[in-house]
Amino acid sequence: MTRTDSSPDDRSGDRTGAAARLEVDSLTKRYGEVTAVDGLSLRVEAGEVFGFLGPNGAGKSTTIDVLLDFVRPTSGSVRVCGHDPQTAPRAVRRRVGVLPEATGYYERASAREHLRFAADMKGADHTPEQTLERVGLTDAADRPVGGFSKGMRQRIGLAMALVGQPDLLVLDEPLAGLDPAGARRVRTLVREERDRGAAVLLSSHITEQVETLCDRVGILSGGDLAVVDTVVGLRERLDADRSVVLTLAERPASLAIESLDGVSGVSEREAGVRVTCRDPTAAGPVVAQLDAAGATLLDMNSRGGSLEHLFLTLTDDEREATGRPATAREAGR
Ligand SMILES: Nc1ncnc2c1ncn2[C@@H]1O[C@H](COP(=O)(O)OP(=O)(O)OP(=O)(O)O)[C@@H](O)[C@H]1O
């Protein structure tokens, strides 16, 4: 499988793989009154899977549309493998493999024919068999895509993205509609592509998938990154943020709960008294002392510690609380 490099607009930019595969610098995109992307900056390097997380309407698709030159920015810039999509769109499209959120297919054409179309579009020499095998569509290679299930459509979309060994893979919800075996196959495939040296921008709402697949994660909220970190770094932050919350029916008369070792907060609530232990290992001894003092424990659960919790805190919860999304500055990026 080789890429044909004859495009006149393909002469500039990085061909060594050493520079960032994707550079977004202070990107803003407004649609009239709506600011879809608001001063976004990010880099994705070769051999890296970057999880682009964000709730509905955060600006993920708009960012992707700008880097493919489907949409022009209001201000700021984007470079893909060193190329500006506005001045070198063909070079960008040759080097990028895209699995869009919704893909249109030629319903009467087969999976194999779709891969030929993709190869023609990219100017790549491509043998469909290996790619069909990688996505698990060998047996359906010659069936019209019109008869494909949702998961099979997702697989052919992914196969088309892989044609031509792209330097940057842009995958929008790559596991959507896949059964567990299909999802595992795609996870393997994403890792193989990364190990080959491709950069992967993986856009998703599903925190669990992002956590297991990505090297770095950015959480987009209101058009800008509220947080960006390695998965390892995020895990450390999340562990530091973990706490155990106990709910008591009422305060025990004989015990000053605030003075117990490990208790970091006590507050009166409608549903009872909430006792927070910042250090989860302190929760056991605290419960024992509350029990000895005759307190009735109504509930006990752990808070924080998950990427999902962080995602909700930085996006939905923040918006509910303030009427606007969290910004990078507030989140201490
Ligand atoms: N063509 C357009 N015209 C007007 N507003 C738009 C247009 N495209 C996007 N928007 C608005 O820009 C904001 C960001 O939308 P975008 O589709 O980029 O979000 P997203 O993160 O991809 O969301 P989702 O997860 O739902 O796909 C939204 O408020 C959306 O309504």
Give average pLDDT by consecutive 10-residue segment, the chain, 333 residues: 38 49 96 95 95 89 93 96 93 91 85 92 85 93 92 93 95 87 90 96 84 89 88 79 87 90 88 87 90 92 76 60 37 36
- At residue 139, the pLDDT reads 94
31 CA to middle of ligand 1, Å? 9
Helix, strand or coil, per DSSP, at residue 31 = strand
- At residue 54, the pLDDT reads 87
Q: Which residues pair with 30 in a beta bridge?
A: 35
The response to whether residue 315 sits with its C-beta less than 6 Å from ligand 1 reads no
Q: Residues 6 or more apart from 29 whose CB is under 8 A from it?
A: 35, 36, 37, 59, 62, 63, 66, 71, 73, 74, 223
Helix, strand or coil, per DSSP, at residue 57 = coil
- At residue 17, the pLDDT reads 42
- At residue 122, the pLDDT reads 86
The response to whether residue 29 sits with its C-beta less than 6 Å from ligand 1 reads no
Q: Which residues pair with 51 in a beta bridge?
A: 202, 217
Atom nearest to 29 CA in ligand 1: 12
The response to whether residue 131 sits with its C-beta less than 6 Å from ligand 1 reads no
- At residue 273, the pLDDT reads 93
Q: Determine whether 188 is exposed, middle or buried from the number of CB atoms within 10 Å of its CB (0-12, 13-18, 19+).
A: exposed
- At residue 51, the pLDDT reads 94
The response to whether residue 31 sits with its C-beta less than 6 Å from ligand 1 reads yes
Q: Which of 31, 35, 63, 98 to mutate to test the pocket of ligand 1 (most atoms within 8 A of CB)?
A: 31
Helix, strand or coil, per DSSP, at residue 254 = coil
Whole-model pTM?
0.77
Classify the C-alpha dihedral 51-54-59-65 as positive or negative.
positive
Q: Which of 30, 34, 172, 220 to mutate to test the pocket of ligand 1 (most atoms within 8 A of CB)?
A: 34
Q: Determine whether 220 is exposed, middle or buried from the number of CB atoms within 10 Å of its CB (0-12, 13-18, 19+).
A: buried
The response to whether residue 27 sits with its C-beta less than 6 Å from ligand 1 reads no
Q: Which of 27, 40, 60 to mutate to test the pocket of ligand 1 (most atoms within 8 A of CB)?
A: 60
Atom nearest to 223 CA in ligand 1: 14
DSSP H or E stretch at residue 164:
none
Look at ligand 1, atom 30, and give the residue with the nearest C-alpha: 57
223 CA to middle of ligand 1, Å? 10
